[in-house]
Each structure stands twice: as structure tokens, then as C-alpha cells.
Structure 1
Amino acid sequence: MIPLRRARLASLRSISQHHRLLTTLGIRREDPTRIWERRVPLTPHAISSLLSTHGDELAVEVESCQRRCFPDHTYAQVGAKIVPCLSRDVDLVLGIKEPPVPQVQALVQGQTKKRSWMVFSHTHKGQEYNTPLLASFLGTEKQQTLLDWELLTGPSKRGKLERVAAFGWFAGAVGAGEALSLTGLALLKRGIATPLLHLPRPYTFSTLNAFKSALRETGDAVKSQPAEEGSGAEGPIVIGYTGAGRVSDGVKDMLQELGVEWVSAEDLPKLSGQAAQNRIYACAITPSSYFTRSDGSSYSRDDYFANPDKYQSTFAKNIAPFLTTLINGAGWQIGFPSIMSNADMVSLGRSKLAAVQDITADLKGNLEFVDRHTTIDQPYFEGPNGILVSVVDILPTELAADASEHFSHCIMPYINHFISSPNVPGEVADSLQRATIVDSGELTRPHQWLKARVDSWNTNPGEEIVPPIQTPTSSWRGVEGAVRLRGKKQIRRDGGKKKVLLLGSGLVAGPAVEVFAARKDILLAIASNNAVEAKALAKDSSNVETMLLDVSDEEALGRAVSSSDVVVSLLPAPMHPQVAKHCITYGKHLVTASYVSPEMKALHQAAVEKDVLLLGECGLDPGIDSMAAMRILDRVRREGKQVRSFISWCGGLPEPSASNVPLGYKFSWSPKAVLTAAQNDAVFKLDGKIQHIAGSELLAKHFPKVDLWKGLALEGLANRDSMPYASKYGLGEIDELTDLFRGTLRYQGFSRVLDAFRAQGLISSSLLPKIPGSWSEFVKACRSASEYSGHQYESEAEDALDWLLSTRSGSPPPVFPSNIPPVPIDIFAYLLSDQLKYQPHEIDSCLLHHTFKLSIPGSRKHQTVTASLLSYGTKSSHSAMAMTVSKTLAFAALRVLDGEVKARGVMGPYEREVWEGVLDRLEFEGVKVQERWE
């Protein structure tokens, strides 16, 4: 053995001995706000292999997560330890998407352990919204190393460096599947039914093989049709895809499984008159078929990349008119021509093109009319010329298990290297080095340019440069609207206006927009994924702008938040922690109408440290109810009295003349929220006894008669857990109260019918085993899943269901929603929102009633105090629900914006600085809570 080899073996032996010290690998749970992110970096099989290879040198921790494509128990079975949170013993943290900053801080703060992180961090391009994440890894005292999967490259067969771990093929495969399902729906909207209509979307399959089998079956069904019936007057289905590389390979492979017949771009015009109608044709569309030089010469790849401004696209003229579906997998960069511009779409007009799947998700890029992202649960929007457009940017997670298997296989050599031989040079080590952004707390050489940005963040936490963002108008988020903050002073370039970001444009947003628009010192941006709704709210107000925003797009959300002074959210409550984290990151206040959840409470200290207020419960219930109670309790304390009983009722109902419908109810806010609230567990105290009602029994154990207003036949449901309100309101010890109760009002009959619906499984949150195709199939599937066996109010519920599914409402039921996940409560809420919506001539009402019973120290006298609100909407303006929720929220936000609220952290409207001013403004608007002291 030559000496050099002996030395190398000695070196390896030394490294091996060093790594007999235990290495702990941790798999993090993905951010809970990414509800569809189910992928994993390492599969249970990979963990088993690692533990078998490295034995006692390795321990594995896996954060518990119920969303993953591989359940906790599959990791536990191979020897991993399932933990609620990763311990500080972890040496290597693996994930898919970037970790929230608090998770990094929890592992880093207070220790100097060397630790490496491997994730898609979205920090190496200088992404502004993730500067805090990058900063959290820096500092030699932290000893953290950050590697990015996107930068992990190795030599290809052609000698070039290519990404090692990527999901491109799966993006293409899933994108093709989504495009085919979308095509079936798009053609149906044009009066054409094809077998593609029955092709389930990719996420409904547990494996790639099952998805491929469904593609083959669908292709066979197309071919089995008589040729003359095919696809109707528009000719055969023709699918074209653009792009090259792994994405296009995935598209091609799935179309191959479907059994398409391949044609060239030159053949496309011939298909309309000559091709068989019971075939699906497909075409790989290359740039040479639609890009031409402005001087008339043909496409040259090298020349195109050298002189992109010299090229123009003829796609709308030569390709698009002959396609049924376009799948775009071609990347785009600023300065390069689009495949189809907005002007091209105008010239194209109504054509054969019915569906577009943009896998690249480059907004306003190759397809200029693609101006927003869609989500897996809301996968498409209607684009120009009636085309259905899908722009889902996390497609691989729809086949999470197979995508994870592929990814896990790709990264295994690098994980093994980290565990056993991190100091041994070679191709693997070189790849890891190229992927490293931060090494032991310091930026690596290729990323030194990020230092100035991070230093500014770390050394001047009160100073922020808001990044310019392209929008239709520049005054909100463009360069001219940029803001620099130094401490508490705001120096603006836009005339000194205060900026409010309103998230959401739904049923109750209107009055809030009017409140903000009335203040000419405010610039309001309405951020919504529904451009039509947002623009309708903005009207012609000069200080109101709109922006398209998908809140699942973390980068876009972070940018929008960073450019505001106060964020007002009308989003569903589960989304608020996601928004709140961005508010903390950028030092912005947040005001919502939703209950303060445990997830929000967990952000209290972080908000305090960043001088941020996260103010919740500023609507009607919760909101006005708490404010009205606090005003009474403020006087009770000043007069030295003591509360012995507190009973509160609140509800939103149709005005009696509009209540002759199933459930005696119509929807002026989220139907799903109403159905969910009717199944919440409840705890309260009445007549000296604490009572617990399970959510499944809440409707059955309703209060059948609640007499509060003459002429209103009301019943009630217990509203969640009333016990915390003893401390929230300062009512005293629970043991000293005879009653502590909060309830929800409904018209009599609501609970028994809805309970019968519950028994039938119609408001279940469990996934149905398969996607129903009609309302009758949906009802049958729900009953089967719930093992429905009758209910004492079955006949009443049957009559109500018949009303909902017939024309007795005055209109037919909506077309069954094929784009909604097969979850009964979601589908049933969709039906109710259509059939139980308010008609133009109908109005709603909001009801609130508190009853306090007080004792007077030193006296046997008792006192009853009531607070009552009965507010009606108007036919010509807003609903009562919109007025009470939205204006309350807006007035609270204005007090925060104007510096009237000094508190910081997470809180409800329990302080005088909140409730006093808001109630005064509401009273001025005609929403007055009447107090009566007896």
C-alpha cells in the first residue's frame, strides 16, 4: 500500500471516529399556513436506510404532523422519534419550504450549537420578504449553516451543472393532469361533454401509478366514442404544450399515458376539418414555430437570447386558434417577448382555445393575461374570451408521496455524506458547497452581496426600505410610493398619506371601504383574489386602489404587508396567524374581526418585542358585544358593585318577512362559518352549574325559546366556551357567579332541521371517499358515509332539502361544484349560499342582548342591567351584518392608525382606548347599544 493511500485511510478513519459522536437529524413540520404542502424531504424508507447504515451514530427526530403524505406512525415504525418540536440536539434540519422565523429562533437562541438547515429558503436572490429569515441564520455566535435545495447542483451527462433535487417533472405531470380536468370543465361550459369531464384531478390519487391508470382509462373512453360524436362542432381536442426540460417531460409522459396522437405545429390547421373526432391530439410547440425576428428572418436560439427585443410572437395567430388547451411550461424573463400578450388575446377573440394551464406561474410573463395565482382548492379563474385559466404554483404536492420518493432518492447521497464524511472532498462535497448560502453564521462568497441588506435589517430594526413592487398603479407599492421608516417617524414620498391594507373583498367589506375612503389622509389598498369584487368596492374613490393577491403566495403577501401602516383582515380566521407573522416581521399593526385563537396568542411576545399590536375580536360577535359589556363593567367597577350573573345573546337573522325559508335563515356572511359554529363544543354556567355540550350534540341541546324582543320567535345555541370571559371581562371568580353564558340567536326551527342535516352527514368535515357528480349523488354519499338511519325531524329536513334542490326557491339549484374538494360542509355551504342568499328587496337584522345581575356590597339590594341592540340593514345600502362587523373593524383600525391605542401584543377590544372610541363612532352612525339600569 503506497504511503499516500495510507494517509488517506488514516484521514478517513479519523473522520469516522469523529462521527461516532451522535448525529441527530430532524425533519421539520411545514408551516401550518401551507395547508396543501404535504411533501417530505426524506421518506420513512429513506430514514430506515439511514438508520441501518449509520447505526448508533444517528438519531432521527420527526416533528409530528397530520398533513404529511407519510403519517407519523410510518416514521416511528422505522425508528424515528416523533416529537412535537425539534429539540436543540438536532444537527441537521431538513424541510421542503422555508421555516418560519420563530422556528429558527427557537432552535438558535441561547446556544452556540453548530447546526445545518437544508430547505428551499427563497433567500439567495435577495427576496425582500425573507430577509428576516436569512438574518436569523447569521452571526458567528449562532453557528448556523443554511443550504438551499435550489442551489444543489451536480454535473450532468453533458458536462453542465444541473439541479440535483427538483420537482420539475412532477410539476409537469400534475400540470398536465390539471389541464386535462380543466379542459373537461371548460368544454362543458361550451356545451360539450367529453370523457375528460370525469377525469379526477391528480390530488385525488394516492399514487402516480393510480393517476396514470385513470389517464389510460380516460383515453380509452375517448377512443370508444363514435367518431361523429366526438367533440362537436369545434373539432377534436387538441392540446399544445410549450417548454423544454423536466417540466415538459412530465407533461409529455402524462399525455402519452392518455394515448394522444402526436402532431407537429405545422399540422395544427389541418386538424379542424380532417382529424378524427374520437381522438385527442397533442403537439410539442417549440419557439421556432411562433417566434420570428422583426426583420422577418426565422428563429435562432442563440440570437434570440442575445437579442430578445428583436423577436415577436405569432402564437395568437398561428397556434392558439387551433388549440383546445395550452399547457405553458416555457420560462420567461423580463426583457423577453411574451408568447401571448393582452393585445394578442383581444385579436384572438372567441376561439377554439378553452383552457390554459400555466405551470410556470410567471405572472404577466409568457402569458400576459395570467395576472394571478390560483390554489389547489380554487384552481381556476375565467380569463379573457371566457378561457378557464389555472395557475397553481405548488403542483408537485398533489402527488406528494411519489414526488417525495423522487426527491428523497435524489438527496440521499448528500445526507449520507453529511452524516459520515462531511470533510471528505469530492463531487458531493462540491455540490454541498455550491448550495451553501450561510456557513457557520457567515454569508459564503457568492452571497456576500446580501450582507448590506441583512446588516441594515439587523443594526437598524426601526428602519425599513420597502421594496418597490410592480402594480397597475405606482402610488401604493411602486417606487414613488416607497417609504422609509426611522423609529416612529414616517418620512413619505407620496404626500404623507397613511396606508391601510384591507385583505378580503367579501360580503361585509363594503362599509369598511367607505369609512377608509372618507378619510382623504388615507390611501386604501383592497387586496383580493377576486378583481371584480375589489374594483366594485373601490368604485371611483381617488384614494382607493385594488390589487390581486393570493394570500398563499408568501412573497406577495409579505410585500403587501410591508408597504402598509395598518393591515385590516377580513380573511377566514385560520389565515390570520400567517398574516400576523408578516406583520411582526415588518413591524405593522393588524386588526381583525375574528376570535383571538391560541395560534394568535402564541405570537404575543414576538409582537410586543417588535412594537406591534395584533388586535382581534373587533366585529359584532365578537366585537360590539364585548365593547358594550366593557362599558357597563367600567361603570360597575366605579360604583363598587359586583357581577353575580352575566347572560349574553347575539345573532344575525333575516328580517321576519324574509325568513320563510329552510332553517329560517339567510346568509349575510360565510355559510361555512355558520355551519361550523353550530358544531363547536360549548361550556357555560347556568343556575350555579357548569355544563359541557359536545359539538355533535350542540344542535340537539339548543334552547328552544328565548324571549327577548316582542314578536320574535327566537331559539338559541350555546356559543363556544363562556368560561374565559370571567377573566376577559373581569367579572370575578367563576365560583361566585350563578350564570356565565354566551349564546347565538336563531329563529325557532333552525336547530332541529340543521341537526337532521348533521345526522345525514351533510355538514361533516370528513373527506368523502370519492367525488360525487351531482347533488343526488352528494346526498347519497353523505348519508352512506354517516350511516344515516333517520332522525326525529327527518320529514322536516327532507322537505327543506327538497326546497333547496328544487325550484321552490324561485330559481334552480346551482350546477354541482366540481372544483370544490369532496368535503360535505364545503359543498353544502356552497348550496346554501346560493339558495339562501338575500334577494335585492330583502334586509337582515343583527341582535345583541346582555343581562347583568349585580349585587351591591353592604346591601341586600340587587340590580339588573341590560344592553340591547336591534339593527336592520337597508334595501338601498348595506346589510346589518356588514354595517356592524365592517364598520366596527374600520373604526378600531382608525384608532390604531391614529395612535389612539397604545397597547402592544395580542389583545381583544377590552381596553377603554379601544371600546370607548369605537362605540362612540358606531352610535354616530346609528348603531347604538341601548343600556337600561333597573
Structure 2
Amino acid sequence: MLRSLRIRTTLRNPYSMSTLSKRDLTTLGLRREDPKRIWERRTALTPGAVRELLSEQNGELAVEVESCARRCFSDSLYTEAGAKVVPSLSKEVDVVLGIKEPPLEDVHRLISQSGAEGKERNWMMFSHTHKGQEYNTPLLASFLPPAEHQTLIDHELLTAPSIGKDGKPSRARVAAFGWYAGAVGAGEALSMTGVALLKRGIGSPLLHLPRPYASGTLVEFKAALRKCGENVRSSSGLSSQGHGPVVIGITGAGNVSTGAKDMLDELNVEWIKADELANLKDAPANRVSSLLGWIFHSADKFQVYACMIPTSSFIVGQDGLQFDRMGYYQSPEKYKSVFADKIAPYLTTIINGVGWSSKFPRTISNSDLASLLGSSGEKQKLVAVQDITCDKEGGLEFVDQFTTIDNPYFEGPGGMLISSIDILPSELAADASSHFSSKILPYVRRALFPDSQGDKAAEEDTLNKAKIVEQGKILEPHSWLLPKVEAWKSSVTNGHSSNSTDATSQPKKILLLGSGLVAGPAVEVFAARPDVHLSIASNNLSEARSHVKNRTNVEAISLDVGDQVALREAVSASDVVVSLLPAPFHPEVARHCIEHEKHLVTASYVSPEMKALDDAAKAKGVLLLGECGLDPGIDSMAAMRILERVKREGKKVTSFVSWCGGLPEPSASNVPLRYKFSWSPKAVLTAAQNDAHYKIDNEIVKIQGNELLSKHFPVVKLWPELQLEGLANRDSIPYAEKYGLGEVDGLKDLFRGTLRYQGFSNLLESFRKLGLLSSEPLQRVPEDWEEFLLLSAARQLGYNKSLTIEDLPVVLSDLLGDKAMDSETLDALKLLSLLPRDPSSSPSSIPIPNLRSPVPVDLFAHLLSHKLSYAPGERDTCLLHHAFTLAAKDGSVEKVTASLLCYGDETASAMSVTVGKTLAFAALRVADGLVKQRGVTGPYEREVWEGTLQSLEEVGVVVKEEWN
């Protein structure tokens, strides 16, 4: 909607994709809030912000403001700022801006007035649709066909990159009312506590604290709090009537909780820690803490305590699992709340500032509440609950209704007063609006004028991530809402209630083949989608069932992929097949998918056997999508994102060097190979023997697999704290074509490598020389691990004579040289139980597996899976680093890097997260119909990599780019 008075031409806006009429002005429309919300007095832009926008656009902007007598800023102030105050917004408005969702009739009126061709328009609001809220399904449907060119940008989704509390990249909201909700919520909670105590026969200064809206401004409200605090400290003759000290507990750790804490600081409360609450239970009301312990004064002096209650103080792991924040968010079903037992009995008031979703344990469930209230007839201490989050029947399950500013609380179980007001910031409307306006102004400006000054890339990124609908189409990751909209439309067509969502479309049926080490994170992604039904098929049914975890949209089925009839039936019953099976199984699965016209997604490289199925897949309209893991997977997706920009800017890649690897974190690497296994060791061992082909410093290099380890790169400097080396990874040359880098001759470097800690390659090369990585079967199954080493090594020397364990030193010396007996290799062989035991030591507890064919690499992989496994509390890490050199048309050179450093935790390894979740997010894009390509391919098209990378970023797997 960018227009110019001087250039009358058709331009394009990235937030509105159709062409524009030749009208002179871009128009911003500032809505009045829904008249039914009588207390909603906020505004998204203050008169000052409107004046600023108009002054900087030099006559190219018009602002319409709907007249509203109750808004915290008067119509006359907007008129003075240069806006046009109107009874209702005109059809000329390009951006419609408000706080909360508008009345449906206003939306329909504005869209219907836009004419037959439709008017492209951006709507910015807290729409309350992106969580699938049923009551706003009709609103969401309003922006979809038959309406055209409508884009919905949700304030709640406006986020920008930040660093989370765990030190990892995250995204934080840029425009919110959270602090004001917390501040006002604390004021309401204190005032309500005064009333609740009075019902118990206890008078207190809190009874006389004005409610926030009565103060008018934040400054005046803070003054009232300080005055109340002075009254608390100077009060005497007040009896607690057995209630004990007044204790206010605040849950949460975000802006809401901070706002509440700041107001309690104005009251000058005495702060205590969560683990000190029990000490207050039977103490006089005025006990205070000191460095020397607890000091008691006159029992008649009234005192208020407060406590910030971190999640770690009341969420505990089941079956002895220690609380871990990352683990809790990834696998909440493994945890439970003990708030009702450990925290609530000592609180007078709860101020709840922590949100809740159905996959997390409730802070207090109704069953928890029953035990808290008890049956002895003794009244509980808890008298007031202020639920700022307004999650009806959510984290506090007994909060089962909303309240309003004019009816702020209701009486709940045990006589508690409960408040759940969803527009708390409106009580301090002018202050809250000024804060919000300052935060959202850059994004309103960017939506109006895409080429305006400021941080264009960052602001566009924030706006794009906040879109739910663009040009009448629901975007990822919100496509799961579409069936809800269709069901609502169907119910309206059939004469049902306009708010009915009982009718639902058929769920998307995903078949997951395999239940091993990377299945857990993939299942989490699928199970989080209510429109998906997941079937986990495995020959280990108990393992598959362990992933179900009472999820209603997940089932486990027994399946041996060697049973072609059963496999065919499972594939035919699905919409999309996702395979975690070893790569050799994929062609057979793919043939069933082609037969039944089902799509297949895997994390494995596209093999020649799979590529041979390309024509058959295309003929049936089937997608066989591979390489959707970490490496291959995220590496290609991250590269394609950079290369898309390179192409757009008309630059040329002259060098591409990529490294990727999965390693233990340094503290867990003090073992042979400096490596531990979070998945199949055999894959690591065989990868270290692949042929390699690459280009470095304008020279083409080919390495045979038996030379790969000896020709490793001894030092790779990427992260200063990590001592890394590297191995060439397979054939890099085809990536010139796969990535669209141009001719290989035009590239100085074209290299893909695997990262390991220094020392890995030399030691593994010794193991290779000893025959431990061989794929040729031994003549017999060894009786123990010492004989395994002897048989493997002897065959390397071509010995036909019968050998005994006593011959092993000579065999080792012949293979590795005389220094082998005092080298790192010898120490490693001892630690791996491959050398004869000291007579006083106990034998290895790891049995030789009874394999039909005793292949050394299989036996060695089995041994390593036990000897080099992760201990409890140890983490792995996944590393990725791309380095591009670009040449611009003007001859300048630019360096671009993309890097990922992802750590695992006790609930899931980094490898399983980066492979499993990537696979699942890509598969969901296929299931949602967002990938139009057919045939055999990898994640090289934007329709795959863009949405998958976005979804990964939302769960904390972020590839960081730097352009220099």
C-alpha cells in the first residue's frame, strides 16, 4: 500500500501482495474498541504517536480515528495531532489497528465495502485466534475466502530474536501489556485480600487501598501503595485471629510477575524465599527475617510478606526425576505439581502470572484443591486468588469463570475470593497505552511503508512471524486452524450455532515407522497438533507405547517391516509415512507409498536406489522427500536460506565450506575417541570409511575410504572453546548443482566435512588397522572380547595359523608398530575390554551378541554402544557451521556464516531433537499440502526449508546467520 504523490505507479507491499490502485495516500485506521467492553479504554497509538507518523511521512499518510467518548485519550487530542476523527473507518483504510478483536459486523462491513476486486488490507490486533480459541473462529474465518486480500497480524505473535534465560537464542515479544497486567493485578489482589480478610473477621490497612483504576495514573497508584505500606508498618492492635502472617505468593517469571513484584515493592513488603514459607505457618504475623535467623516482635504489629515462587519450587519429576527446565518444557508429562502440598498451605493470596497449556501439569488441580481445603472443618489459610493469566479451568483448575472490573471477584471453594479479569491494563489505560504505543509504532510504520527508515530486515521478520493469515491464506504454523474454520463454516451452512465447532474434518494420519532414539522429539511435534492422528509402528511394541503417554491422538502398533502384507496395510491407511528405519529399508517402503499414492519423508540421504523411483513417484503424484534431519537436513535448509538471498541480491558464491557434527559436551568427552553415542554407533563407524570427493584451494581432491581417517584435518577452528578436527564428508561435488552454486570450476572451495574432537581420527584409524571396522565376517563367533580383537587383527595380517591370546602383543606390534604397546591405542583397548584382563580384575559384563554373521563392525558397534554411552546428566551437542564467500557485481567480497550449537538434556539428546523434530516439521508441511513438489528430492525448495526452519526456531533450534 505504499503510494507516492509524485510517482503514480503500481508498487508492491510485502504485507499486501496484490497490486495497488492509483490513490495518493496510504491510510491508517485506528479502531474504537468493542462497545460491549465498557471498561476497555486503551488505544494502540497515542495522539503523540499519530503526530509523529504524520509529520515524518510528508503528506503521504492519512490517519482515521473512530470516535470514542470513553477512550483514555479524547477525540480532540487526535484531531490536534492531525488525524481525522470519523464515525467509522472508511473503505480506503490500508491498515486497521486496534487492541482487541473487533466486532464481527465491523469487519464484515469494511471488507464488503471494498468492491468486487477486493481491497488488500492489514489487520493488527490481539485476535485471540492462534491457539484455536473456538469463540473467535468466526473472526478468523472473516479474513479467509470468500474475502480476498486480507492479512491478519497478531500483536501477541510480534516477537524479535533474544537470548533466553538458559542462554540460548530465543524470541521475545516486542509489544505487550504484560507488565501493566501484573502491576494492576497486584493492586486488585491486595485490595481483594483486604476484603477476604475482613470476611474472616480481620481488619487490615489493605481494606482501604484504592483499586488501581481509582488512582487514574501509575504515579498516583504507586503513591497509594506507599501510603498503604506506611499504614501497615505503623498499624497496631490488629489481631490475626489465628490466620498468621499475610503472605502473598507470585507465580511466573515474566513481565506479568515483574509488574506484580514492582507494586509489592512499593508496598514495602518483607520478601522471603519459597523454601522459607513453612517457617511462617504458625509464627506471629509480624515475624521478620535477619542474618541471625528469625526475630520476633510484638504480635500486635501487622506485617505483609511476599514470595516469588519459581516453577522449580513446586514442579517435581516423577519417579525421582530431578527438575530440569529444558526437560520440563520438552517432556512435561514426566513432571507433576506439588503446589497444593508444599506452597499453597502457607499463602494468604496467590497472584498467578504463569500461563498454562494442556500438555503441562496444572499448578493446582481440582483434586489438589480438595486436599488443600481438607475436611477437618479448619479453614485454609488461602483466602484470595488473582489469576492474571485468565486461563479458565487452566493452571488453577478451580478458576472456572471470568470476572470484570465492575464485578471483580466471585466466591470460590472454601470461601476464597477469586478474580480473573482479562483487561487489567485498562485500569491504568493512559499509561498502558503509552507504553504499548511506543513499542508497536515501528511495526505499524513498517506495515504502512515497507521502505521507511529503521531496521527493515528485523522489523519485516517480526511482522512476518506475527501473521496468521496473509492474503486470505492461513500460514504456517497456523494451518492446523483451517479444519476448525471449515467445520465452523459447515455448521453454519447446516443451520447450527454460529459458534459451533462440533463438526470436524478428518485428522491427518501420520504413520511413523520406528520408535528408537530419535522418535521421542518427533512424536512430541506430531502429538502437539490436534488435527493429527499419529500411529507409531515398531517391532518393539513396548518401546512404541512408551511414546504414547496418554495422548489421545497417538497410538502404537506392532509392525515388522519384513512383513510386506502388514507394511502395505499400514501404509495404505496413512496420509504421510515418516520413516526412522535404516536407509536400506526405505526403497521398499517407498514402493508401497507409490502403490498407494502416499507421501514419504525420511532423514536419510537420497540413495541411488531411491532416486531410481523418481519417475514412478511423479507418475503417481507422490513425494519421496529425504534428507530432512540434521546432516543431511538442517545443513541444506540453512544453506538454501542464505543462497536464496544471495540470488536475490545478484551475488555469486565463490567458496562454500560446511562442517557438521554431533559430539558429547567437553565435560563428557574424557573417553576413548572423545566420543559418545546417542544413536547407532555403526553409522558413525561406517561414515568414517566413506570415499570423499571435494575441492579446496582450487584443487579437486579424491580420497579412498581406507585413507579417510589418516587424511583428516587435524585442527578446525570454529568455536574457541572446542578443540575440533574434521573429516571430509562423502562427495561434496554434487552440491554445486543441488544448491545452485554454479559450475564447480568457478568455485575456489566446495567442501562438506564432519566434526570430531582432536584425537578421534588417529585412534579410530588404529582401530581400523586392527580390523575392528571391517565388514567381512569372521570365521566364527568369538568367545569373548579379547578373542574378538585377536581374530579381527589376525585376519588383517592374513594369518591362517591358530593363535592364542598370548600372541596378541605380537599381532598388535605387527599392525601398529612397536610403539603401540605404550600408546593411547593400548589405553583405549584396555578401557574397552579388548585386551586380556589382569588376573585380579572381573570379566567384562557385556556379552558377545549372538549374530548369525559375526561382522567386526557390528560387534564393535555393539561394544561401543555400551562402553561409550551417555551417563545420567551428561549432554550431547550438535554443531553446524557454513562459510560462504560471495562476490558482488562491483567486485567486492562478502563473508557469510551460518552456525548452530545445540545442546541436549536429560529428556532428549541434541541429535534426537535436531533429527526428529526437523523430520516431523517437514512431514507436517507435506501433510498440510504446503509442499507441491513430487518425485524423489531433498529439502532444497523454499516450500520445505522456510517453514521447517521457522518451526525449529520456535522450539529453540536456531541457525544464526552473520553477513560481513
Which range, TM-score by smaller chain?
0.3 to 0.5
* Structure index of larger Rg: 2
Instruction: Give the TM-score taking structure 2 as reference length.
Output: 0.45
